[in-house]
């Protein structure tokens, strides 16, 4: 049985959304994965009289296309879409059957207007929680435009292809046979990369806001809800809604919620925002903030928004180590997400740079998949919680080197080794590794602010207990500030503080 009971019970309610007939056209051989895939599609078809199965010859075996009876959709799943990709399959079934994808009408129009042939292939791993967003975005594009096709390739079932294409980071997207992009991508981001960015001129026409929040993570979301609840005109602009949390798999420290997962939690937060009249402006990047008569926020797209107050909540991103090889081998052996990319290094030797909580957690995770893990820590001892260190030290395939300064990541075409210097003896060591996971903390996304607001040496925005910066009317919250700790509930709390601070500022100062 390919579908366990739990998956079946997840699927059944969605089958009601299937509108027209769908045919799963299967290309299968006599190998074990083909047999599993055949069982899988047959079991799905048994659950709905609108789904049938046919044999077909497709480019990859085993794979199956999700089509209408007389019409190809362009969507193919190569390998089994289980794990995080099962939802992508369910959505494809529903959308191919005729149900309109849940995206803005202007995006639908942009996708439909594409008149060139685009054949996308996305390489994924089933444990990658960043992959479904890309798979689902490309499937939507294929459903809406007959010029577009998309094949999801499950890396574990197509190891030779993954190896030949030197794919070492997922999701990896190829367009018409060439590398197109990697990492999470929304429909908006894919369109913008294709040179089909939305017309942003209408943003210039927007009336000034009372509070304009920049950032759609926990801090920005909380700030927007708190501001809107005060009945003031609130806008929220973000490059990627959800922030770092959508990169997080298991979350166990949101008080009152024993366990949740990042994408699910932020989808609930987005739904909560929709309960209020918040003007959400997604897929736009702030480039500059200026204090004129009002505050003026210029965007990368060229548009400018005006507001009486601004809450900066642009969060943080993974810190780069800045050694030779890091840029060159990105997606060619250098990775930042162990959940996503760990399976691509199965049976290989890897290094994890960083002995804090995230580095040690990654090393523990990876030790279960790869052949050997070397943890490289710059300081004389690991900084992770003792409980994590104990777990790490109990693993037989892990080596820990401390006092080690990484000097270079090298190889030809892909990562082959990492060199570090022992800071006490000065001795240089080169470790043969095929992958390097860099987990050395975060840096604030505040470069775009330049000298507009006061920041610490490491770029964190300095705020007071009201969330106010040194510029009247400008507030900040979350991981981009100098708060002592960086966590979801802390960011949400500071987002609420900043919104209330902004509201107080508005009622105490007669800003027109």
* Joined tokens for residue 125: 């791993």
What CA dihedral angle connects 399, 405, 411 and 417, to 10 degrees?
-10
Which segment (74-82, 152-160, 201-209, 482-490) binds ligand FAD by CB under 6 A? 482-490
Contacts of 456 (CB under 8 A, 6+ apart): 462, 482
H, E, C per residue of 188-207: HHHHHHCCCCCCCHHHHCCC
Candidates 51, 283, 312, 488: give the one binding ligand FAD (CB under 6 A): 488
Binding flag, residue 239, ligand FAD (CB under 6 A):
yes
Nearer of residues 210 and 479 to ligand FAD, judged by Cβ: 479
Which segment (16-24, 156-164, 426-434, 486-494) binds ligand FAD by CB under 6 A? 486-494
Contacts of 339 (CB under 8 A, 6+ apart): 127, 128, 129, 249, 365
Is residue 221 within 8 Å of residue 320, measured between CB atoms?
no
Candidates 155, 235, 243, 473: give the one binding ligand FAD (CB under 6 A): 243
The distance of closest approach from Cβ of residue 493 to ligand FAD in the complex, given in angstroms and rounded to an integer, is: 11
| Residues 396, 399, 400: CA angle, nearest 5 degrees | 130
Candidates 44, 213, 278, 286: give the one binding ligand FAD (CB under 6 A): 286
Query: Could you say which residues in the range 304-363 bind ligand FAD, by CB under 6 A?
Result: 313-316
Nearer of residues 82 and 197 to ligand FAD, judged by Cβ: 197
Residue 46-85 contact track with ligand FAD, rule CB under 6 A, x = bound: ----------------------------------------
Most distant pair of Cα atoms in the chain: their distance: 76
Which segment (130-138, 192-200, 217-225, 301-309) binds ligand FAD by CB under 6 A? 217-225
Binding flag, residue 285, ligand FAD (CB under 6 A):
yes
The distance of closest approach from Cβ of residue 255 to ligand FAD in the complex, given in angstroms and rounded to an integer, is: 10
Is residue 81 within 8 Å of residue 152, measured between CB atoms?
yes
Query: Could you say which residues in the range 433-462 bind ligand FAD, by CB under 6 A?
Result: 445, 448
Nearer of residues 163 and 385 to ligand FAD, judged by Cβ: 385
Angle between helices 386-393 and 357-367 (to 10 degrees): 30
Which segment (6-14, 61-69, 200-208, 480-488) binds ligand FAD by CB under 6 A? 480-488
Binding flag, residue 297, ligand FAD (CB under 6 A):
no
Residue 253-272 contact track with ligand FAD, rule CB under 6 A, x = bound: x-------------------
DSSP string, 133-191: HHHHHHHHHHHH-TTEEEEEEEGGG-HHHHHHTT--SSSEEEETTEEEEES---HHHHH
Nearer of residues 15 and 251 to ligand FAD, judged by Cβ: 251
**Other residues' Cβ atoms within 10 Å of the Cβ of residue 387:** 9
Chain centroid, CA 397 distance in Å? 30
- Phi, psi torsion values for 348, nearest 5 degrees: -100, 175
Q: How far apart are CA 491 and CA 476, in angstroms?
A: 10
The distance of closest approach from Cβ of residue 127 to ligand FAD in the complex, given in angstroms and rounded to an integer, is: 14
The distance of closest approach from Cβ of residue 398 to ligand FAD in the complex, given in angstroms and rounded to an integer, is: 20
The distance of closest approach from Cβ of residue 339 to ligand FAD in the complex, given in angstroms and rounded to an integer, is: 8
- Pair type for strands 63-68 and 71-78: antiparallel
Contact residues toward ligand FAD (CB under 6 A) are: 214-220, 237-241, 243-245, 247-248, 251, 253, 285-286, 313-316, 445, 448, 478-479, 486-488, 491
């Amino acid at each position: 049985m390919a579908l366990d009971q739990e998956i079946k019970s997840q699927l059944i309610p969605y089958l009601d959304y299937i509108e027209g007939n769908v045919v799963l056209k299967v290309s299968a051989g006599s190998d074990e994965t083909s047999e599993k895939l055949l069982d899988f599609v047959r079991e799905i078809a048994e659950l709905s009289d609108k789904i049938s199965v046919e044999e077909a010859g497709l480019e990859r075996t085993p794979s199956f296309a999700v089509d209408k009876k007389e019409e190809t959709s362009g969507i193919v799943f190569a390998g089994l879409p289980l794990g995080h990709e099962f939802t992508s399959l369910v959505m494809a079934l529903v959308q191919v059957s005729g149900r309109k994808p849940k995206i803005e009408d202007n995006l639908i129009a942009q996708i439909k207007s594409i008149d060139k042939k685009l054949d996308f292939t996305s390489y994924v791993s089933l444990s990658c929680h960043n992959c479904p967003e890309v798979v689902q975005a490309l499937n939507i594009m294929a459903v809406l435009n007959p010029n577009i096709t998309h094949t999801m390739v499950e890396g574990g079932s197509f190891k030779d292809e993954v190896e030949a294409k030197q794919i070492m980071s997922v999701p990896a997207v190829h367009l018409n046979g060439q590398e197109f992009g990697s990492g999470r991508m929304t429909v908006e981001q894919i369109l913008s990369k294709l040179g089909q960015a939305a017309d942003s001129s209408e943003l210039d026409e927007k009336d000034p806001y009372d509070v304009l929040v920049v950032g759609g993570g926990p801090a920005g979301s909380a700030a927007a809800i708190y501001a809107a609840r005060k009945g003031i005109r609130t806008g929220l602009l973000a490059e990627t809604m959800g922030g770092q949390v959508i990169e997080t798999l298991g979350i166990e420290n949101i008080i009152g919620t024993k366990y949740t997962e990042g994408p699910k939690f932020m989808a609930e937060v987005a739904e909560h925002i929709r309960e209020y009249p918040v003007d959400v402006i997604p897929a736009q990047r702030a480039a500059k903030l200026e204090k004129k008569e009002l505050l003026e926020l210029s965007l990368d797209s060229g548009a400018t928004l005006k507001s009486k107050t601004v809450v900066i909540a642009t969060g943080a991103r993974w810190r780069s180590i800045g050694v030779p090889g890091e840029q060159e081998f990105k997606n060619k052996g250098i990775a930042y997400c162990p959940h996503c990319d760990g399976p691509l290094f199965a049976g290989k030797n890897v290094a994890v740079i960083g002995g804090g909580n995230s580095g040690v957690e990654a090393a523990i995770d990876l030790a279960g998949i790869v052949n050997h893990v070397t943890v490289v820590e710059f300081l004389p001892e690991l900084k992770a919680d003792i409980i994590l260190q104990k777990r790490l030290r109990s693993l037989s395939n892990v080596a820990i080197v401390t006092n080690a300064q990484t000097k270079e990541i090298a190889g030809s075409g892909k990562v082959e080794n990492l060199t570090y210097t022992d800071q006490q003896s000065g001795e240089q060591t080169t470790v043969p590794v095929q992958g390097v996971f860099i987990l050395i903390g975060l840096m604030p996304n505040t470069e775009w602010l330049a000298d507009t607001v006061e920041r610490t040496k490491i770029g964190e925005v300095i705020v007071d207990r009201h969330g106010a910066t040194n510029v009247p009317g400008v507030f900040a919250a979350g991981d981009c500030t100098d708060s002592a700790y960086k966590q979801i509930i802390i960011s949400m709390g500071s987002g609420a503080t900043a919104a209330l601070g902004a509201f107080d500022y508005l009622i105490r100062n007669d800003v027109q």
